[in-house]
Structure 1
């Protein structure tokens, strides 16, 4: 019996809290906040994609040096290393392009 009363009190407290939160949320203008957040996040996409292109260029240069060193050393797995570095550069460029096209920048 006491356990049932405690559960009823807890349920009433939770309902009261939810009603209060709903009233507070309706009192605030949520659309303006969401629009401001949207604008701020979209403003970072151009810089982010440029950063991804720069990282891809640096990774490409490092990969070219690594492949050149392996090629001159006569290693048998030079083509695997070249494919891995080239693939990582392509991946970065493709991801940056997809982000730009997906978000309509």
Structure 2
């Protein structure tokens, strides 16, 4: 039993030495280059994503304003909830650009 433990321990030690010796130094682990490639792609997409968020916010604001105006003209004067919800949606989409810049580590220009 004692010999079997020594044999297993010797096998594990030789396995770890073999694994560490076969690795060449100076190379990054697998997949790091792909992560760096995706990071540069996302930085290039940042400008498009931030502009898209502003466009969606502007369209949402226009549609919300038209909806509130239509309800006001139809005689529904309890429109406070609609105004707050559309304003919150537009505010969220307007600040989305700042969050995207922090997420992708792109400075605001």
TM-score class, shorter-chain normalisation, is 0.5 to 0.7
Distance (whole Å) between structure 1 residues aligned to residue 28 and residue 73 of structure 2: 70
Query: Paired residues, what number?
Result: 86
- The structure that is helix-richer by fraction is 1
TM-score normalized with structure 2 length: 0.63
Give the deviation of 1:93 after TM superposition: 0.8
TM-score normalized with structure 1 length: 0.65
After the TM superposition, which of the residue ranges 81-90 and 91-100 deviates more from structure 2? 91-100
Distance (whole Å) between structure 1 residues aligned to residue 59 and residue 28 of structure 2: 50
Distance (whole Å) between structure 2 residues aligned to residue 56 and residue 27 of structure 1: 42
Bigger CA radius of gyration: 2
Matched-pair contact (CA < 8 Å) for 2:43–2:106: no
Give the deviation of 1:85 after TM superposition: 0.8
Q: Which residue matches 1:56?
A: 57
RMSD value over aligned CA atoms? 3.0
Matched-pair contact (CA < 8 Å) for 2:54–2:94: yes
Runs of 4+ residues over 6 Å off in structure 1: 26-29
Distance (whole Å) between structure 1 residues aligned to residue 96 and residue 28 of structure 2: 40
Give the deviation of 1:30 after TM superposition: 4.5
